[in-house]
Amino acid sequence: MQIAMTPLNNRAWLLLLPAVTIMGLVAVLPLLTVLNYSFHDIFTLESRYWIGLEWYEEIITSGRFWASLARSTLFSALVLSIQVPLGIAVALLLRSTRHPTLYLMALALPLVVPWNMIPGMWLSLVGPQGLIGPSLIAAGFDYKFTTVHTWALLLTMDTWHWLGLVVILSYAGLSAIPAPYYQAAEIDGASRAAIFRHIELPKIAGALAIVLLLRFVDSFMIYTEAFRINAGGPQGATTFLSLDLGEDINAYSYGSAAARAMTYFLIVITVVWAFVQTTRRRPA
Amino acid sequence: MSRAARTLALGALLLFIALPLVQSVVLSFTATLPHDGVEPGSFTLLNYRHIFETPALVASIGNSFLYVSLNVALCLAAGLPAAYAFSRYRFTGDRHMLFFILAFRVTPPVVLSLPIFILFAQLGLVNSPVGIALVHCVFNLPIAIWILESFISAVPREFDETAFLDGQSLPGFFVTRLIPAIAPGIGVTMFFCFIFSWVEVVFARILTVTGGKPITMAINALFSFRTDIGLVMAMTVFSLLPGVLMIVFVRRHIARGFVIRT
């Protein structure tokens, strides 16, 4: 028997109508179109031929796809393992400062920079006339031709761009911890690590889940920033999944691009779904 | 952590955040190409003057404002009733629907860019701010629903019931009671919708072929064989101002009022 505090009321669907209509038009309909295109060979949009799963077969049997997938996976893994611990550490640090709002405002600044401007700012900074460029170049930094340096620059730039989001959401979670929790822990003589593990981590778990998902998707599909830094180079070392897709679109290979897009969509949705399933089972 | 180590860590953090911004501001006040009477490398206000002397740049500022405001309005108008429904009612398929809507926040824009262009070309929405405002709902509407839902759920249910006992209609209740009660939530929602729409590039590019170009695309168009980096940076700095204003506007709620439900 259901003892719901909330009334079961299907008229609630009426309230969803505006949102569902918009999402249907700009999200569902386009997604179905991509799905349809992915089964076709498209010369022009008027003349297309059903070819079934051929594009998908071509993609998953190509070395290019697996290499990009490996690069994107590695990039996301690095982004998450740098930004999430760092963001939590900064949020904890801000808890003990007198003016946390000022730091949060500063950390939010990179979030309001248009995405296509970020690479330009960083390239100016590390360029020969930049503020830190000359000393970096003297130390042997060469992002154009050295793979590790391109990766380092991309990761630094991405951390600069998104650290604020991790900090803001973690900080919001930490702020919701009532002071008596800390006092009780102090009386029990709990260590700093124990406080983090048993009081703070559970409180920010919800926020962290959101952060992990958003950071995973956006880093996995990084396009604008990666392209402007080194156009996927040196020698394809930063050609991520979305740069591959961009190549297909630029070559007007719509059928192949659609199949590629669907493949990425399925990967992302599978990861998100698996993540939601595993976090839901564990009581927070 | 000792006091000195903490100060050092926070100082390093601020330096890291500031460096690229300072670099851009410095360049925006530097003559990077030879202009009449100004030596390259010297201090100048010319870059900012050039913004206002270039009609395409001025127009792009208006275009960006137009579609971003439209998008924020759309997300609030459609997101508020939806968030209310998720917060207050149980209905058939509600949890699935919430996951379904949030799933589109994690759909990469590149995946949808091609069909959206074709669809919007048929609807006559290419080169129009309405088109971009609609498309940005793909990622902003889920965000709006998610934030508003958590703020509405923080309001006790009795609040609604009292209003309905007073004989208020649902739309009347939204406007006169609910919106004032969750004002910080409205502010945070506007902030996130505003910045995500303002900084977005993929959709903004494909939907502005010949006209209606936003700031981001107007800056892209400045890149050429001889790029005036000073002008690019002046425009970049200029494009930050609305975002900075938004940060100042919601600073009190950016972390504190942000209730996150697990």
CB contacts under 8 A, A 141-200 vs B, are: 160, 168-169, 171-173, 175-176
Residue B166: count other Cβ atoms within 10 Å of its Cβ: 10
Closest CA–CA distance from residue B98 to any residue of chain A (Å)? 10
Q: Do B85 and A25 touch (CB under 8 A)?
A: no
- Locate the chain A residue with the closest alpha carbon to B6: A93
At B5, which amino acid appears? A
Q: Do B195 and A175 touch (CB under 8 A)?
A: no
Residues from chain B that touch A101, judged by Cβ atoms under 8 A, are 251-252, 254-255
pLDDT value for A93:
92
What's the gap between Cα B43 and its chain centre? 32
Q: Looking at A51-60, A150-159, B37-46, which range is the least confident one?
A: B37-46
Question: Cα torsion for A248, A160, B99, B260, to the nearest 10°?
Answer: -170
| Cross-chain CB nearest to A265 (options B19, B107, B219) | B107
Residue B224: count other Cβ atoms within 10 Å of its Cβ: 7
**Is A250 an 8 Å CB contact of chain B?**
no
Instruction: Label residue A7 by pLDDT band (50, 70, 90).
Output: low
Mean pLDDT of B54-78: 91
Mean pLDDT of B83-103: 80
Instruction: Label residue A96 by pLDDT band (50, 70, 90).
Output: confident
pLDDT digits (tens, 9 = 90+) for A62-87: 888 888 899 999 999 999 999 999 99
Q: Looking at A38-47, A171-180, A207-216, B45-54, which range is the least confident one?
A: A38-47
What is the bridge-based pairing of β-strands A40-42 and A48-50? antiparallel
- Does the pLDDT at position A283 exceed 60? no
- Does the pLDDT at position A159 exceed 90? yes
| Cross-chain CB nearest to B260 (options A15, A120, A173) | A173
Residues B112 and B202: their CA atoms lie apart, in Å, by: 10
Q: Mutate which of A113, A212, A224 to test chain B, going by most B C-beta atoms within 10 A?
A: A113
Residues B39 and B30: their CA atoms lie apart, in Å, by: 9
Mean pLDDT of A14-43: 88
- Does the pLDDT at position B194 exceed 70? yes
pLDDT value for A65:
85
Residues from chain B that touch A99, judged by Cβ atoms under 8 A, are none
- The overall average pLDDT reported for chain A is 84
- Does the pLDDT at position A4 exceed 50? no
| Inter-residue contact B36 to B52 (CB < 8 Å) | no
| Cross-chain CB nearest to A6 (options B89, B99, B216) | B89
pLDDT value for A52:
80
Q: Do A242 and B110 touch (CB under 8 A)?
A: yes
Residues from chain B that touch A11, judged by Cβ atoms under 8 A, are 91
pLDDT value for B257:
47
Instruction: Label residue B50 by pLDDT band (50, 70, 90).
Output: confident
Residues from chain A that touch B109, judged by Cβ atoms under 8 A, are 221
Between A50 and B10, the more confident residue is B10
At B213, which amino acid appears? K
Residue A107: which H helix or E strand, with range? helix A100-108
Mean pLDDT of A85-102: 90
| Inter-residue contact B13 to B216 (CB < 8 Å) | no
**Is B40 an 8 Å CB contact of chain A?**
no
What's the gap between Cα B171 and its chain centre? 27
Residues from chain B that touch A220, judged by Cβ atoms under 8 A, are 108
Mean pLDDT of B76-86: 92
- Locate the chain A residue with the closest alpha carbon to B109: A221
Percent of chain A past pLDDT 90, that is, above it, reads 19
Q: Do B113 and A249 touch (CB under 8 A)?
A: yes
**Is B255 an 8 Å CB contact of chain A?**
yes
Q: Do B255 and A115 touch (CB under 8 A)?
A: no
**Is A255 an 8 Å CB contact of chain B?**
no
- The tokens for A108 are 């939010």
CB contacts under 8 A, A 108-127 vs B, are: 108-118, 120-122, 124-125
- Does the pLDDT at position A284 exceed 50? no
Instruction: Label residue A1 by pLDDT band (50, 70, 90).
Output: very low
Instruction: Label residue B261 by pLDDT band (50, 70, 90).
Output: very low
How many CB contacts within 8 angstroms connect chain A with chain B? Answer: 259
Question: Which span out of A201-215, A268-282, B74-88, B167-181 was modeled with the highest average pLDDT?
Answer: B74-88
| Cross-chain CB nearest to A33 (options B107, B119, B145) | B119
- Does the pLDDT at position B104 exceed 60? yes
pLDDT value for B51:
84
Q: Looking at A29-38, A262-271, B79-88, B216-225, which range is the least confident one?
A: B216-225
Mean pLDDT of A218-235: 80
pLDDT digits (tens, 9 = 90+) for A103-146: 999 999 999 998 888 998 999 898 888 888 888 888 878 877 78
At A169, which amino acid appears? L
What's the gap between Cα B70 and its chain centre? 11
pLDDT value for B100:
77
- Strand (E) positions, chain A? 40-42, 48-50
Report field, pTM of the whole predicted structure over 0.90: no
Closest CA–CA distance from residue A235 to any residue of chain B (Å)? 23
pLDDT digits (tens, 9 = 90+) for B126-167: 888 899 999 999 999 998 998 888 888 888 888 888 888 888
Residues from chain A that touch B232, judged by Cβ atoms under 8 A, are 120
pLDDT digits (tens, 9 = 90+) for A160-173: 999 999 998 888 88
Percent of chain B past pLDDT 90, that is, above it, reads 19
pLDDT value for A6:
60
Q: Which residue reads 């009795």 in tokens?
A: B158
